[in-house]
Amino acid sequence: MFDDLFYKRLSQLRMQKGVSARDMSLSIGQSSGYINRVENKKMLPSMTAFFYICEYFGITPKEFFDIDTSNPAIIEEIITDLKSLDDEQLKNISALIKGLRK
């Protein structure tokens, strides 16, 4: 079950980024078929390779396994931006989010 989560999440994040398995493999310093083999459940990456995968997506290992967050890189970018806002701006953003959720 854990393995299936890993493979699905890897594929989901890669497709969201809009890159091929081959391009991603080469970008993280692996052979051209590496990510394809991982996504097809033929192997799991080493811990080092997993960290490179997370770095490639711009997320932490915790965010990789947070399946309730569909696009963790965007969420992290938004949080970083929110930290630079003042109280009034944050209240406005909060109201906007609540309005969008209705």
Counting DSSP H helices and E strands in the chain, the numbers are: 7, 0
Domain of 17, in residue numbers: 2-101
Question: What CATH number is attached to the domain comprising 54?
Answer: 1.10.260.40
Quote the number of domains for the chain: 1
List the one residue out of 38, 31, 34 whose CA is nearest residue 9: 38
Is the pLDDT confidence value at 1 over 60? no
Mind listing the pLDDT tens digit for each residue in 8-52?
Answer: 999 999 999 999 999 999 999 999 999 999 999 999 999 999 999
Q: What is the 3-state secondary structure (H, E, C) of 27-74?
A: HCCCCCCHHHHHHCCCCCCCHHHHHHHHHHHCCCHHHHCCCCCCCHHH
Residue written as tokens 């990510």? Answer: 35
68: confidence class by pLDDT, cuts 50, 70, 90 = confident
